[in-house]
Amino acid sequence: MAFRCKGGVAWVALLVAVAALASAAQGFPNPFGHEEFTESYYDETCPNAQSIVRSVMERHAAANPRTAPAILRLFFHDCFVNGGDSIDPSFAAQRRQECEQKHGNATAPFDERTPAKFDNAYYVDLLARRGLLTSDQELYTQGCETGDLVKTYAMNGDVFFADFARAMVKMGNIRPKHWWTPTEVRLKCSVANTHY
């Protein structure tokens, strides 16, 4: 289904619109080199640009919930918005290149060192500025409360495992507000367990 606005903007151009809106919101210069580049750039030619983009993204999220969060976080935040220097630039460039080569179907481990092992390497990567997502890397921003936790977990796996175990017990003790509300631990999050 193609959406069209006055001036012939088709749905294919929506990603360009998103990039432009994100860039304008961050105060970046107009990448097309003409006119004043502001958040109202599409007001005359496509006043519904934001709602169209939202609609397309919501439909995509409903059709493929596994990839929707990755698209939103990686492309619309980490790629178009200047994430600052929190992530190592060479690491970020490497990840973007991998993503482009796989045409948006890329998956990447949250920790490169031991992707199939449950350990504290994720926090070690954050210390090295090699967090997969800007939002995760911001956990280790100087002056941030969580920065001390990242350091502690990176330096001492035993503390990480002890805190993780405590958190799991605490989550396991969460009960519904009313005793008659049915609850279950699902084998697959998106599907209720079958009871025999």
Q: Which residues contact 122 (CB under 8 A, 6 or more apart)?
A: 110, 111
Which residues define the annotated binding site for Ca(2+)?
111, 114, 119
The b/e string for 46-80 (b: 16+ C-beta within 10 A; e otherwise) is beebeebbeebbeeeeeeeeebbebeebbbbebbb
Which residues define the annotated binding site?
111, 114, 119
Contact present, 46 and 52 (Cβ < 8 Å): yes
Q: Using CA atoms, how far apart are residues 100 and 119, in angstroms rounded to an integer?
A: 29
